[in-house]
Every structure is written in structure tokens, then in C-alpha cells.
């Protein structure tokens, strides 16, 4: 069958509204949020139901055409972007946005894969519950993308990643069969936990169409502080102190280097420095509780007072009122966007044991500064999870392309250092196309062999998001 015959078959399945071939409309689906990756496609298909997804995938499989699943297209590794051949079909879930059920008794929510994360949070809140996943991209990213990247974000410390938040899945397999694993059970020991295979698979094993997710009791009080610390070691020490005293009330513990904050102060609208002096590192601490008046501000002040006495914290502000909380969060969440104004941003999303963060930073900073004098290291992230976004910007007044050309070499420096601490080169963003080859040098051969075996079992013809995750 020719491409145009396949497109007519797809049109018959999803209707005119579900098939995009017009170049102007296609453009938004063919490159990622940052413009770092772009490709071409025969069409974008937008099915409205699980049955339509299954029919579309079956039609493509019968014609030997590869499928690229796409959600909100906010991914940072090029996983949702098609290759340059123009033969692949992008399947966007952006018409599958139904919240199927919210159950406050079972504490579950059942949603279609195209529902935007923020809409899931709102649907849970409307029933007095909390869906805790929280990312800077939550206004655009979708549950299908969150599942497929095993998204993390700022509340992992308390609630875990998407793997921990998922009870059941519905998945269209690469041959078009539908696996209905939409169970909301808290316990189910009937063999292999298949849903975990699809979580974090970045669309290479099947297309997720719906999920049953865990809910939690609504949070009724919060306290937020912005703390200046003198070193990464002090940040880790502060983490130990806050966690020791606040336990599960500690919801977020985010670190930012001065360089990261400076970018937001320069480019973020309305952003302002909180302290008179400049400090090398800052920490955003968030406590939360289900009680309406849990005295969290007082607790946070008490904990920070102890940290001052021990010389761990240098300055701090406990936010008063929602406007100040929003301003503090914006200083953290604005980093990713602000960095884009400073030329190419070489992103590395690494994790090491929390206790190794100070030595990792010291050793990696030194190696990078030796390689590129004047390099601007934009290190920030979820330090309570051992996860640093260890991003790099070019020296001031230097050439964009010359810096971009050194991306692989500089990534090696970061990844070799990560590996020497027993870390991982992808903490939460995935491998996509950006790290699919380099992972071969940092992952055990047996693990890669087992991963290839799983791929072969589920997708023997290699038609589900080829060129992603597995080394070529
Ligand atoms: P997409 O980008 O569309 O796709 C991501 C991958 O999942 C691709 O491989 C795609 O093929 C696959 N996929 C998408 N939908 C499906 C489906 N239904 N079935 C099968 N495969 C599918 N990530 C974090 O983990 N933590 C953060 O704190 C964080 N902060 C961010 C902040 C900003 C400002 C931005 C831009 C991104 C951030 N991200 C973060 C990255 C990104 O938002 C997440 O990876 C998110 O989970 C991607 O969701 P998406 O719907 O946009 O997926
Ligand atoms: C974040 O935590 O802000 C993102 O995961 C990092 C990024 O956008 O690089
Ligand atoms: Zn992150």
C-alpha cells in the first residue's frame, strides 16, 4: 500500500479532525519544546478513543510504518519527535482528555493518556484529594508522557515518581492488541508486574491510552522557605536536619546554584533577589500537612534556627502568603526557560547518592572549568533525590556553534564523573534520542541484553518509536 493509501485508511478511521497532513499544522508536532530536535512525518494522527488508537496502530503495523507516540511534547530528550525520513506516523493523544473516574474512597483517579497533568491535579482537588506529581511543565505535559518518562519533579521525596503513583494501565501493543490492565488494586501478586515495563519505556513498547493513578489526602497547610547556604555540602547537611525533624512533612527540597538563580533574575519577569549578599547556593524547602492549622511556619522557623546555630544555613526567608510562595517557586521553576536566553543549553540530568552530591559537584565543576575556561555551570534540581540538572551554558561572548560542537565531549566529562560515583546518566528525563547511544557505555551489557529481549518480545518488527532508548 502507498503512503497516500495508508493516509486514506487512517482518515477513514479517525475522520478529518483526527488526521493532520497540512504542513503548517504539522509543524508544532515535529519539533520539541526547546527546538533542540526536529523531524518529519507522513502525518499526525489524533485518535479520540482507545479503539481508534488500536485501529491506527494495527493499520500502521500492517503497512510496516513506524509509530511515534506523542503527548504534550515537553520531553527533553527528543523521544516524541519523529526521525527525518518523513515516513513515520506521529500518534498524538491530544484528543484523549477524559477523566474517566475519580474515587475518593479507593483514592484513585482513572484518566485517559492525553489528559494534561494540571487537569488531573484539579480533578483530584475537586474531590478533596491530591494527585501529587508536580513539574514545571504541568500545564502542558500529559499523563501518557509522564508515565512513559517515569516523570519525577518536585514532590518525589514524599510521594515517589510516576512508577510509585500508578496502579493500572491500558496499553495498545505494537500489533494493535489492547492490554486492559486498568486495575486499581493496591495489592496484586499474580506474577510479573507488566505495567512497570511500559512506565519509563518512552513509547518504545506500546502506546499507553489510560491509567489508574493513586490519590492522597488533600494538603491543607504548607510552609515554604528560601535558604542561602555556603556549599553543596551545607545543602546536604541541611537536608539531613530538615528531614530528620520533619519526616514526611518534607515535600520538596530543591537546590539552585547562584549561576542558576542569576539567569532567572536576569530573564524572569518580576524575579528579585531576596538577600543583600550573594550566596553560592540556595535551597527551596517545602513542608506540607493534611491538617488545616499544622503550625508548619513555626516548625520551619525552629528547624532553620537549629541550622543557623550549627553554621549550616547562612540566611533564610520563610514565605508569608501565597504571592511570596509563588515568587519563590518561580525562582526555581524559571531556571530551565531562563537558560535558553543564554545560548545553547547542554542538559544533563544525573543522579548520584545524596551523600555524594558535594564531591560530585566539586570534581565535575573542576573538570569542566579545566576543559572550558569561563563555562557557566547551571546546577540545580531535586537534591533530596540525589538528582541534579547539571546544565552547561557557554562562556560569555563565545560562539554558540563552537560550544554546541563540544556537547558530546562535555557530556562525557559529566557522565564519567556521574558513573564514578555509582550514579545514573538519566534521573528523570529519559534517554529518548539524545542518550540512546551513550547509554551503551554506562549500562551493564546484561541489562542492555535483557532490555533488547523485552523489546523483541513486544515489538519484534521494531515499529514502536524506533531510534529511541535502545542503542542503535
Ligand atoms: P512527550 O514529550 O510528548 O513524550 C515524552 C516521551 O513519552 C516520548 O518518548 C513519547 O514518545 C512518549 N509518550 C508520550 N505519550 C505517550 C503515550 N501515551 N504512550 C506511550 N508513549 C508516550 N520532567 C521531570 O521528570 N521532572 C521535572 O521536574 C520536569 N520539569 C520540566 C520543566 C519544564 C519547563 C519542561 C519543559 C520539561 C520538564 N520535564 C520534567 C520534562 C517533561 O515535561 C516530562 O518528561 C514529561 O513527563 C513529558 O510529558 P509529555 O506529555 O510532554 O510527553
Ligand atoms: C526541572 O526540574 O526544572 C526540569 O526537570 C529540568 C529541566 O528543564 O532541565
Ligand atoms: Zn527536574
Rounded to the nearest angstrom, the distance between the alpha carbon of 442 and the centre of ligand 2 is 22
Confidence of residue 131 (pLDDT cuts 50, 70, 90): very high
155 in Cβ contact with 251 (< 8 Å):
yes
Model pLDDT for residues 82-101, shown as the tens digit of each residue: 999 999 999 999 999 999 99
Nearest-atom index, ligand 2, CA of 428: 5
Distance 74 CA to ligand 1 centre (A): 5
Topology of 221-336 in CATH? Alpha-Beta Plaits (3.30.70)
Write down the pLDDT at residue 88. 98
Supply the Cα-derived Rg of the chain in whole angstroms: 23
Ligand 2 binding pocket mutation candidate from 134, 389, 434, 435 (most atoms within 8 A of CB):
389
On average, the pLDDT of the chain sits at 97
Tell me, in angstroms, the distance from the centre of ligand 2 to residue 346's CA: 12
Pocket of ligand 2, beta carbon within 6 A: 76, 136, 336, 347, 381, 389
Distance 130 CA to ligand 3 centre (A): 20
Closest Cα partner for 255 from 340, 341, 352?
352
Q: From the centroid of its chain, how far is CA 118?
A: 14
Confidence of residue 220 (pLDDT cuts 50, 70, 90): very high
Q: Is the CB of 121 under 6 A from ligand 1?
A: no
Q: Is residue 1 predicted with pLDDT exceeding 80? A: no
Counting ligands in written order, the one closest to the CA of 435 is 1
pLDDT digits (tens, 9 = 90+) for 39-94: 999 999 999 999 999 999 999 999 999 999 999 999 999 999 999 999 999 999 99
17 alpha carbon – ligand 3 mean position (Å): 34
pLDDT of residue 270: 86
Domain ranges of the chain: 3-92, 99-217, 221-336, 342-428
Is residue 208 within 8 Å of 170, Cβ to Cβ? yes
The whole-angstrom separation of Cα 264 and Cα 69 is 33
197 pLDDT higher than 80: yes
- Stated pTM of the model: 0.97
Calculate mean pLDDT across residues 154-164.
97
Per-residue model confidence (pLDDT) at position 279: 98
Give the right CATH number for 3-92 from 3.30.43.10, 3.90.79.10, 3.40.190.80, 2.40.50.100.
3.30.43.10
Q: From the CA of 95, how far away is ligand 3's center (Å)?
A: 27
From the CA of 47, which ligand is nearest? 1
The Cα angle at residue 285 between residues 109 and 141, in degrees rounded to 5: 40
- Beta-carbon contacts of residue 23 (< 8 Å; ≥ 6 apart): none
Residue 364: pLDDT band (50, 70, 90) is very high
pLDDT tens-digit readout, 443-460: 999 999 999 999 999 999
Looking from the CA of residue 143, the nearest atom of ligand 1 is: 51
Topology of the domain covering 342-428: Alpha-Beta Plaits (3.30.70)
Closest C-alpha to ligand 1, atom 53:
145
**Mean pLDDT in residue range 267-292:** 95
Q: Give me 276's grid cell.
A: 543583600
Å from CA of 386 to ligand 3 middle: 11
Reported as a pLDDT band with limits 50, 70 and 90, residue 33 is confident
In Å, how far from its chain's centre is CA 91?
Answer: 20
pLDDT at 165 over 80: yes
**Alpha-carbon distances of 385 from 256, 355, 449, rounded to whole Å:** 14, 10, 28
**Percent of the chain residues topping a pLDDT of 70:** 100
- The Cα–Cα gap between 90 and 449 comes to 28
Q: Which atom of ligand 1 is nearest to the CA of 68?
A: 11
Atom of ligand 1 nearest to the CA of 114: 18
- Give mean pLDDT, residues 218-235: 98
Q: How many CB atoms lie within 10 A of CB 154?
A: 24
Report the alpha-carbon distance of residue 166 to residue 197 in Å, rounded. 12
Average pLDDT over residues 228-249: 98
Beta carbon of 135 within 6 Å of any ligand 1 atom: yes
The pLDDT value given to residue 311: 97
Q: Do domains 221-336 and 342-428 have the same CATH topology?
A: yes
Distance 298 CA to ligand 1 centre (A): 37
Specify the ligand 2 atom closest to the Cα of 335: 3
CATH topology of domain 99-217: 3.30.465
- CA 254 / ligand 3 centre spacing (Å): 9
Q: 154 alpha carbon to ligand 3 midpoint, in Å? A: 7
Atom of ligand 2 nearest to the CA of 152: 5
pLDDT at 103 over 80: yes
CB atoms under 10 Å from CB of 77, counted, come to 24
Cβ 142 under 6 angstroms from ligand 1: yes
Q: Report whether residue 203 contacts ligand 1, using a CB cutoff of 6 Å.
A: yes
User: Given pLDDT bands bounded at 50, 70 and 90, which one contains residue 464?
Assistant: very high
For residue 269, the model assigns a pLDDT of 87
Amino acid at each position: 500500500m502507498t503512503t497516500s493509501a495508508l493516509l486514506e485508511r487512517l482518515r477513514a478511521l479517525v475522520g478529518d479532525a483526527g488526521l493532520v497532513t497540512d504542513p503548517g499544522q504539522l509543524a508544532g508536532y515535529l519539533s520539541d519544546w526547546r527546538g533542540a530536535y526536529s523531524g518529519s512525518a507522513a502525518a499526525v494522527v489524533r485518535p479520540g478513543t482507545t479503539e481508534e488508537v488500536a485501529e491506527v496502530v494495527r493499520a500502521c503495523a500492517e503497512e510496516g510504518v513506524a509509530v511515534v507516540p506523542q503527548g504534550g511534547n515537553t520531553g527533553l530528550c527528543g523521544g516524541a519527535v519523529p526521525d527525518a525520513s518523513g515516513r513515520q506516523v506521529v500518534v498524538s493523544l491530544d484528543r484523549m482528555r477524559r477523566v474517566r473516574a475519580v474515587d475518593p474512597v479507593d483514592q484513585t483517579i482513572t484518566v485517559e493518556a492525553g489528559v494534561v497533568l494540571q487537569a488531573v491535579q484539579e480533578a483530584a482537588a475537586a474531590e478533596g484529594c491530591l494527585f501529587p506529581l508536580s513539574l514545571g511543565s504541568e500545564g502542558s505535559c500529559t499523563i501518557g508522557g509522564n508515565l512513559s518518562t517515569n516523570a519525577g519533579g518536585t514532590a518525589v521525596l514524599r510521594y515517589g515518581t510516576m512508577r510509585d503513583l500508578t496502579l493500572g494501565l491500558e496499553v495498545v501493543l505494537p500489533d494493535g492488541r489492547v492490554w486492559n490492565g486498568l486495575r486499581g488494586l493496591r495489592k496484586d501478586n499474580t506474577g510479573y508486574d507488566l505495567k512497570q515495563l511500559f512506565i519509563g519505556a518512552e513509547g518504545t513498547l506500546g502506546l499507553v491510552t489510560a491509567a489508574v493513578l493513586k490519590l492522597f489526602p488533600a494538603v491543607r497547610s504548607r510552609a515554604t522557605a528560601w535558604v542561602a547556604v555556603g556549599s553543596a555540602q551545607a545543602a546536604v547537611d541541611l537536608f539531613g536536619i530538615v528531614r530528620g525533624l520533619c519526616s514526611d512533612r518534607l515535600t520538596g527540597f530543591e537546590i539552585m546554584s547562584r549561576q542558576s538563580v542569576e539567569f532567572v533574575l536576569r530573564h524572569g519577569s518580576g524575579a528579585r533577589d531576596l538577600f543583600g549578599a550573594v550566596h553560592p547556593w540556595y535551597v527551596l524547602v517545602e513542608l506540607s500537612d493534611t491538617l488545616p492549622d499544622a503550625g508548619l511556619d513555626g516548625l520551619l522557623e525552629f528547624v532553620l534556627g537549629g541550622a543557623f546555630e550549627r553554621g549550616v544555613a547562612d540566611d533564610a526567608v520563610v514565605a508569608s502568603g501565597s504571592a511570596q510562595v509563588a515568587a519563590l517557586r518561580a525562582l526555581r521553576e524559571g531556571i530551565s526557560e531562563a537558560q535558553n536566553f543564554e545560548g545553547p543549553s547542554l542538559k544533563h540530568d544525573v543522579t548520584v547518592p545524596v551523600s555524594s552530591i558535594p564531591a560530585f559537584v566539586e570534581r565535575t565543576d573542576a573538570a569542566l572549568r579545566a576543559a572550558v575556561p569561563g563555562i557557566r555551570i547551571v546546577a540545580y534540581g531535586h537534591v533530596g533525590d540525589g538528582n541534579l540538572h547539571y546544565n552547561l551554558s557557554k562562556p560569555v561572548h563565545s560562539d554558540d556553534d563552537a560550544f554546541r560542537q563540544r556537547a558530546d565531549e562535555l557530556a562525557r566529562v559529566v557522565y564519567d564523573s556521574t558513573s564514578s560515583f555509582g550514579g545514573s546518566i538519566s534521573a528523570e528525563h529519559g534517554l529518548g534520542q539524545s542518550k540512546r547511544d551513550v547509554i551503551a557505555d554506562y549500562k551493564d551489557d546484561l541489562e542492555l541484553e535483557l532490555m533488547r529481549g523485552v523489546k523483541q518480545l513486544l515489538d519484534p518488527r521494531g515499529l514502536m518509536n524506533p531510534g529511541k532508548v535502545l542503542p542503535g
